[in-house]
């Protein structure tokens, strides 16, 4: 797959989530964000807090990996090829995936959280992600590798990391929209 097209696609999908948060969510009464759609179901704020927990791990990890690669003279490759594991994770995370997953314990968001702060952090993280996607154009997406959060010994290609990260975000952003009743 063409590496630049892949990054364009992640950029657009991330920007669409950011647009939604800026145009709609930050202008809602904060208590709407913390409403549970059904007893025991995640509120929109919980969905976003769950994504923020991933961002807190992956954004610094990606940033560091890109900087290290730049310093080591990494050059962009025109093509990106998923590893089988990367493709598998991304498919699993896709919003239309039939697989029901259980979030790891450390990524389960608390029931009581400050909705305005959670949303502000989500917006911040999407802005940072867009910058990282642009920076990634300077390095080889096949060679730069990121340890995954639940198993540090597994190191996914940067291109696959973007793939499953964006898919996972889209999945829970859709869940947040359902929680808001749209």
Partner 1 sequence: MLITNAHDYLQRIWPNLPGDILQDLAGIFHEYSAKRKTVLTAEGEVEKYLYLVLEGVQRAYAISTDGREATLVFTYAPSFSGVADSFLLQRPSRYWFETLTPSKFLRANFQDFDAVLLKHPLLERLIRLALSETLEGVLVRQIELQSYTAEQRFRTLLARSPHLLQLVPHKYIANYLGMDATNFSKLLGQIRI
DSSP states of 130-180: HHHHHHGGGS-TTT-EEEETTEEEEEEEHHHHHHHHHHHHHHHHHHHHHHT
Q: Which stretch binds partner 1 (CB under 8 A): 24-32, 59-67, 80-88, 147-155?
A: 24-32
Binding status of residue 177 toward partner 1 by CB under 8 A: no
Q: Is residue 92 involved in binding partner 1 (CB under 8 A)?
A: no
Query: Quick one: which of 9, 13, 20, 22 contacts partner 1 (CB under 8 A)?
Result: 22
Cβ neighbours for 148, distance < 8 A, ≥ 6 positions apart: 89, 154, 155, 156, 161
Q: What does the alpha-carbon distance between residue 24 and residue 18 come to, in Å, rounded to a whole number? A: 10
* Least distance CB 7 / partner 1 (angstroms): 12
Phi, psi dihedrals of residue 147, rounded to the nearest 5°: -65, 135
Task: Give min distance, CB of 11 to partner 1, in A.
Answer: 8
CB of 168 to partner 1, least distance (A): 22
Instruction: Please state, in angstroms and as integers, the Cα–Cα distance from residue 167 to each residue in 68, 100, 172, following that order.
Output: 25, 14, 9
CB of 39 to partner 1, least distance (A): 26
**171: Cβ–Cβ under 8 A, 6 or more apart, which residues?**
93, 94, 95, 97
Q: Does 181 bind partner 1 (CB under 8 A)?
A: no
182 near partner 1, judged by CB under 8 A: no
Contact mark string toward partner 1, 101..120, x via CB under 8 A:
---------------xx--x
Q: Which residues bind partner 1 (CB under 8 A)?
A: 15, 21-23, 26-27, 29-30, 116-117, 120, 123-124, 127, 130-131, 134
């Amino acid at each position: 797959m063409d590496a630049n097209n892949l990054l364009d696609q992640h950029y657009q999908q991330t920007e669409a989530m950011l647009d939604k948060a800026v145009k709609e969510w930050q202008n809602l009464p904060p208590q709407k964000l913390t409403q549970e759609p059904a007893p025991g179901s995640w509120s929109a704020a919980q969905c976003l807090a769950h994504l923020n927990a991933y961002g807190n791990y992956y954004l610094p990890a990606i940033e560091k990996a890109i900087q290290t690669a730049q310093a080591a003279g990494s050059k962009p490759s025109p093509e990106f090829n998923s590893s089988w594991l990367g493709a598998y994770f991304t498919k699993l995370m896709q919003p239309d995936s039939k697989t029901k997953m259980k979030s790891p314990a450390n990524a389960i968001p608390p029931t009581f959280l400050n909705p305005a702060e959670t949303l502000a952090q989500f917006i911040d993280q999407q802005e940072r992600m867009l910058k990282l996607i642009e920076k990634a154009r300077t390095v080889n997406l096949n060679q730069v590798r990121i340890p995954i959060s639940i198993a540090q010994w597994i190191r996914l290609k940067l291109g696959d990391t973007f793939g499953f990260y964006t898919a996972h975000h889209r999945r829970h952003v859709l869940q947040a929209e359902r929680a808001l009743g749209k």
